[in-house]
């Protein structure tokens, strides 16, 4: 059987190609979009992404973008919150609004039979939001409840502590939800300002996948987005990643400690990015097959999950990881992770590990494209990153081009054991804060 | 709208409307049922084996063994080294995992469509070829203990739900958590795992679901080659579980935890599940949950408690209709600061009483019906989700016909049937009311 399997693996030569035909129409009004016409199911997934997110909150208005986003389905045009919800439910359309540090996204889904009415309803959110005082107070109370719960949640506390340590006074250094004090102080004017700041023509990326043609989409986008303000090209402020190596313990009464760790990462546009991407896959990016998982989980049973990931923000890049272990075992888990970090920086990876990771990554890539909503999401992200539609066909070549010499040079440069900082939330035993 | 926080309440809304995807099925000679769901949009396939055994089939004192065995299924087999199955899936660009619930244990891989045979060769191998060693036990048990630490011990909401579920079921194993009680989990051993495996893992106790860019003809040839050759195990028994006696006394509980920042009230009622050949009451309960707590702005609880009296930050009603045995119907109310749990519970009860007296708003009813119909269309975008519905249904007492009838039954539910179902399910004597609260001293 093992021999039979090897035969299968050898047969696995070229990875399957993602089969998506992307059209790139520009609307009569000048809005560029990427479209995949997929008429087999009578609905469309529409993704709209605006560059510029919660990090554009003015310093004393932290949480404005988050609260504003939470209010978008709470009334617009001549509808209050309940009338808006009733209209949306009657159409069975869904609008998902999310705000991140550097972007705001709208994930829309509508039936072909309700296409025009659904987009007309969404347009009221973008052009005529009400921000009724009663709705503001209702959603503000919800946000304050979330903040209170986050303060008791080990994962949230670890994340907030990390951000504060890494970015200090920069917007990245505080939660995008704001603080209890900043949220309490937000006014209706602050919320209106956030809406005007974020929903602008100059920061827009759009993709549509489903039962819609490129020709139909253009006029619809003009109607939906044409009235947005041009925008002033606002950008997230530059910031220095400020953390040094070490350990920070936050005391919380919980039987299992949560640890978040990392150091500076690598830019998406850096020539070594793909080598770093493959390296992270081998280190901790690939679930139970990664080195860290083998050492911490499979061999020692110290955790249910350990992973690492590259974080790419507009103004900062990090290589980070997370692990959770019982309070009396987290110390050992951290020691193993530090050790593996050191080993990989010093000795690099093997040719076999590189080959395995390349086969995995190139094989997994086309599997991402198996649903309208998934494809729309990928396409809008590609536009924001400035990639061309051809990237889908060349991305695997970039993965396969990474050589052993290159990845091991990058391992030595990127992995910095002495710079690795751990945040531990819980009541760890036998860990000494530095 | 801001529902992120409430994910910790452990609710997953069972919107069960089904897409009418192209589905075929057949039976292998050894009794293994096969379901094929076709979706040719992308060259991807999901390969799943569902076993008709879950946590509720464990022997007393052995809680957690079904899930522990699920972890051990990735160890050495007759033909594969420990971890080799997942390594091979990954080396082929795929992903794999497994999950256990009260009624089933399932294993799946998601790969390029031309890798299907490789998946079948490996999955069929571990159906009866697992070769556990005593050395596997201690390390993997530590992993599962850490999983319980992570999912349950670290979450006051999860601990509260566990206690509440235990109070709900007086005699049925649904009262025991899937991951197992810690004191029993720590004692699970090699013999327990092997015995459970030998008793339950066999083709005549399993369902193969293949979904994606495949044809039934391709699947049939491969399934006969890999699964069809495994002999049926005559020792496999149909599931006979201890059932609930009549519930004669409403139960109340409070759980204090210093990590709770946001207290809330959670009430559940014992409720009928979808039964093969009779799903009407279950369909009516799906509507009832939507009407009472589906939308924060337009549902009965949302309107009354979040908008009119503004006593709650969040309200919800939920019903998980797919289960082998009696399930639950639940209500949740999270008070605004300054409103006590007693006040918000009273307001919730008053809103329900008013609803029972005045009945259903017909516009609301029609909107929900429309959403059920739409959800069938949206569901077709996710073939894996459709595969899951078949796997879950067939391991929880339903048939393929039941699954395919369900969308029509949902469209035919009447407001009268919803009210009849509401009167059936809102029986105080069959309820548990729980208060999740912060540390006790703060209440004085």
What is the per-residue pLDDT across B165-187, written as a single tens digit (0 to 9) for each? 999 999 999 999 999 999 999 99
Give the pLDDT confidence score for residue A288 in this predicted structure: 77
Mean pLDDT computed over every residue of chain A: 93
* Spatial separation of the C-alpha atoms in residues B325 and B304, rounded to whole Å: 33
Q: Number of A:B CB contacts under 8 A?
A: 225
Mutate to test the interface with B, among A11, A15, A41, A252 (most CBs of B within 10 A): A41
| pLDDT for residue A433 | 63
**Per-residue pLDDT at B11:** 36
Distance of CA A407 to the CA centre of its chain: 25
Q: What is the pLDDT of residue A18?
A: 57
**Percent of chain B scored above 70 by pLDDT?**
95
Mean pLDDT to the nearest integer, A188-199: 97
- Average pLDDT over every residue of A252-269: 96
Residue with tokens 């110390």: A331
Retrieve residue A330's tokens.
């987290």
Residue B70 appears among annotated catalytic residues: yes
Q: Residues of A381-418 as b/e, b for ≥16 C-beta within 10 angstroms? A: bbbbeeeeeeebeebbeebbebeeebbbebbeebbebe
pLDDT, chain B, mean: 93
B130 in contact with A at a CB cutoff of 8 Å? no
Q: Is the pLDDT of residue A3 over 90?
A: no
CA dist A216 and A376 (Å) reads 17
Sheet holding A256-264, edge to edge: A246-251, A421-426, A256-264, A317-326, A306-312
3-state secondary structure of B381: coil
pTM for this one? 0.92
Mean pLDDT of all residues in A6-35: 70
Q: How far lies A323's CA from each of A305, A336, A380, B443, in Å? A: 6, 11, 31, 35
| B146·A303 Cβ contact <8 A | yes
Helices (H), ranges, B294-337 = 300-301
A375-403 pLDDT per residue, tens: 999 999 999 999 999 999 999 999 999 99
Out of B70, B140, B273, B376, pick the active-site residue: B70
From the list B363, B410, B301, the residue with the least C-alpha distance to B14 is: B410
| Confidence tier at A37 by pLDDT (50, 70, 90) | very high
Contact: B378, A287; criterion CB under 8 Å: no
In DSSP terms, which residues pair with A319 in a beta bridge?
A263, A310
pLDDT at A287: 77
Q: What is the secondary structure of B170-199 as a DSSP string?
A: SSSGGGS-TT--HHHHTT--HHHHHHHHHH
pLDDT exceeds cutoff 90 at A176: yes
- Whether B259 has its CB under 8 Å from any CB of chain A: the answer is yes
The confidence score (pLDDT) of residue A370 equals: 86
Tokens matching residue A280: 């992270």
Contact B321, B421 (CB under 8 A): no
Whose CA is closest to B116, among B264, B256, B227?
A: B227
> Is residue B162 predicted with pLDDT exceeding 80?
yes
Nearest Cα to Cα of residue B82 among A59, A419, A299, A268: A299
Interface of A with B in 385-424 (CB under 8 A): none
In A294-400 the beta strands, taken as DSSP E runs, fall at 306-312, 317-326
pLDDT over threshold 80, residue B351: yes
Each residue of B374-391: pLDDT tens digit? Answer: 999 999 999 999 999 999
- Compare CB distances from B93 to A19, A84, A367 and report the shortest one's residue: A367
Q: What is the ipTM, given to two decimal places?
A: 0.90
Mean pLDDT computed over A149-168 = 96
Q: Which long-range contacts (CB under 8 A, 24 or more apart) does A292-300 make?
A: A292/A321, A292/A323, A292/A336, A292/A337, A292/A340, A295/A336, A295/A340, A296/A323, A296/A333, A296/A336, A296/A337, A297/B143, A298/B83, A298/B139, A299/B139, A300/A332, A300/A333, A300/A336, A300/B139, A300/B142
- List the strands of the sheet with B431-437, edge to edge: B251-256, B431-437, B264-271, B327-335, B312-319
Residues 216-235 of chain A with CB under 8 A from chain B are none
Percentage with pLDDT > 70 across chain A: 95
Least confident of A102-106, A142-146, A367-371, B156-160: A367-371
Q: pLDDT tens-digit profile of B237-247?
A: 889 899 999 99
Q: How far is B365 from chain A (nearest CA, A)?
A: 10
Point out the residue among A16, A42, A154 whose CB comes nearest to the CB of B154: A154
Question: Residue B20: which pLDDT band, with cuts at 50, 70 and 90?
Answer: low
State residue A434's pLDDT score.
53
Checking if the pLDDT of A427 tops 90, the result is yes
Sign of the alpha-carbon dihedral angle for A33, A36, A40, A45: negative
What residues of chain B, 203 to 222, have a C-beta less than 8 Å from chain A? 212
Q: Is the pLDDT confidence value at B10 over 70?
A: no
pLDDT in tens, B405-434: 999 999 999 999 999 999 999 999 999 999
Q: Which of A2, A41, A367 sits opposite B381 (nearest CB)?
A: A41
pLDDT digits (tens, 9 = 90+) for B65-79: 999 999 999 999 999
Of B176, B144, B178, which Cα lies nearest the Cα of B163? B176
pLDDT tens digits along A53-69 = 999 999 999 999 999 99
What is the structure's pLDDT at B91? 86
Rounded alpha-carbon distances, angstroms, from residue B164 to A5, A74, A234, B250:
47, 34, 50, 12
The residue-averaged pLDDT of A274-278 equals 98
**pLDDT tens digits along B265-289:** 999 999 999 999 999 999 999 999 9
Range B288-313 average pLDDT: 96
Which residues touch A405 (CB under 8 Å, ≥6 apart)?
none
pLDDT, tens only, B83-95: 999 999 998 889 9
Q: Whose CA is closest to B219, among B441, B443, B10, B23?
A: B23
């Amino acid at each position: 059987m093992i021999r039979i399997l090897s035969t299968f693996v050898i047969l696995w030569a070229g990875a399957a190609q993602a089969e998506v035909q992307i059209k790139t129409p520009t609307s009569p009004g000048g809005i560029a979009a990427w479209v995949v016409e997929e008429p087999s199911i009578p609905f469309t997934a529409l993704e709209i992404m605006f560059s510029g997110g919660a990090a554009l909150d003015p310093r004393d208005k932290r949480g404005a973008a988050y609260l504003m986003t939470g209010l978008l389905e709470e009334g617009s045009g001549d509808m209050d919150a309940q009338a808006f919800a009733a209209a949306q439910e009657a159409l069975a359309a869904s609008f998902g609004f999310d705000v991140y540090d550097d972007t705001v996204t709208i994930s829309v889904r509508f039936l072909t039979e309700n296409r025009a009415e659904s987009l007309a309803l969404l347009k009221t959110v973008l052009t005529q939001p009400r921000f009724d005082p009663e709705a503001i107070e209702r959603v503000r109370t919800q946000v304050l409840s979330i903040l209170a719960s986050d303060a008791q949640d080990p994962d949230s506390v670890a994340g907030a502590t990390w951000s504060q340590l890494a970015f200090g006074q920069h917007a990245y250094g505080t939660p995008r939800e704001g603080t209890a004090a900043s949220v309490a102080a937000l006014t209706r004017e602050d919320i209106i300002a956030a809406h005007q700041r974020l929903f602008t023509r100059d920061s827009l990326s759009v993709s549509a996948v489903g039962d819609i043609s490129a020709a139909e989409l253009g006029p619809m986008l003009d109607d939906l987005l044409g009235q947005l303000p041009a925008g002033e090209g606002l950008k997230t402020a530059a910031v220095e990643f400020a953390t040094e190596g070490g350990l920070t313990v936050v005391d919380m009464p919980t039987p299992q400690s949560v640890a978040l760790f990392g150091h500076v990462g690598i830019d998406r546009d850096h020539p070594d990015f793909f080598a770093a991407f493959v390296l992270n896959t081998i280190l901790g990016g690939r679930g139970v097959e990664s080195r860290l998982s083998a050492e911490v989980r499979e061999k020692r049973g110290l955790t249910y999950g350990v992973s690492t990931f590259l974080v790419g923000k507009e103004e900062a890049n990090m290589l980070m990881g997370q692990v959770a272990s019982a309070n009396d075992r987290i110390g050992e888990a951290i020691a193993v992770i530090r050790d593996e970090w050191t080993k990989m920086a010093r000795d690099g990876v093997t040719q076999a590990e590189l080959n395995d990771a390349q086969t995995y990554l190139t094989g997994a890539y086309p599997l991402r494209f198996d649903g309208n909503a998934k494809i729309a999401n990928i396409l809008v992200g590609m536009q924001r990153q400035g990639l061309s539609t051809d990237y889908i066909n060349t991305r695997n070549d970039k993965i396969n081009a990474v050589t052993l010499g290159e990845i091991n040079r990058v391992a030595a440069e990127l992995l910095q054991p002495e710079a690795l900082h751990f945040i531990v939330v819980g009541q760890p035993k036998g860990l000494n804060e530095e | 709208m801001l529902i992120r926080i409430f994910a910790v309440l452990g609710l997953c809304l069972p919107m069960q409307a089904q897409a009418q995807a192209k589905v075929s099925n057949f039976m292998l000679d050894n009794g293994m049922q096969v379901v094929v769901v076709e979706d040719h949009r992308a060259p991807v396939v999901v390969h799943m084996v569902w076993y008709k055994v879950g946590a509720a089939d464990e022997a007393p004192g052995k809680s957690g063994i079904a899930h522990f065995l699920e972890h051990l299924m990735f160890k050495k087999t007759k033909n594969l080294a420990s971890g080799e199955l997942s390594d091979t899936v990954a080396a082929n660009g795929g992903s794999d995992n497994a999950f256990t619930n009260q009624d089933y244990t399932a294993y799946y891989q998601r790969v390029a469509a031309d890798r299907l045979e490789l998946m079948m060769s490996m999955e069929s191998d571990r159906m009866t070829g697992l070769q556990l060693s005593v050395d596997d036990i201690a390390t993997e048990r530590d992993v599962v203990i850490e999983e319980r630490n992570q999912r349950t011990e670290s979450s006051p909401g999860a601990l509260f739900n566990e206690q509440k579920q235990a109070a709900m079921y007086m005699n049925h194993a649904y009262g025991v958590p899937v991951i197992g009680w810690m004191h029993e989990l720590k004692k699970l051993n090699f013999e327990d795992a092997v015995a459970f495996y030998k008793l339950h893992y066999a083709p005549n106790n399993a369902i193969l679901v293949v979904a994606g860019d495949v044809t039934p003809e391709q699947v049939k040839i491969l399934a006969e080659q890999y699964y069809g050759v495994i002999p049926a195990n005559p020792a496999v028994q149909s599931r006979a579980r201890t059932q609930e006696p009549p519930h004669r006394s409403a139960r109340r509980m409070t759980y204090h935890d210093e990590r709770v920042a946001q207290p809330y009230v959670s009430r559940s009622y014992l409720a009928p599940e979808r039964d093969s050949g009779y799903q009407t009451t279950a369909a009516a309960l799906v509507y009832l949950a939507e009407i009472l707590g589906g939308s924060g702005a337009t549902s009965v609880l949302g309107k009354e408690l979040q908008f009119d009296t503004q006593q709650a930050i969040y309200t919800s009603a939920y019903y998980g209709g797919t289960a082998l045995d009696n399930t639950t119907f639940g209500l949740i109310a999270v008070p605004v600061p300054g409103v006590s749990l007693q006040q918000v519970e009273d307001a919730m009860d008053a809103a329900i009483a008013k609803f029972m007296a005045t009945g259903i708003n017909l516009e609301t009813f029609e909107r929900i019906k429309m959403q059920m119909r739409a959800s069938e269309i949206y569901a077709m975008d996710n073939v894996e989700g459709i595969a899951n519905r078949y796997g879950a249904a067939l391991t929880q007492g339903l048939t393929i016909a039941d699954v395919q009838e369900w969308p029509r039954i949902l469209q035919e539910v009447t407001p009268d049937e919803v009210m009849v179902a509401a009167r059936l399910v809102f029986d105080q004597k069959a309820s548990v009311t729980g208060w999740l609260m912060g540390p006790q001293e703060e209440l004085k």
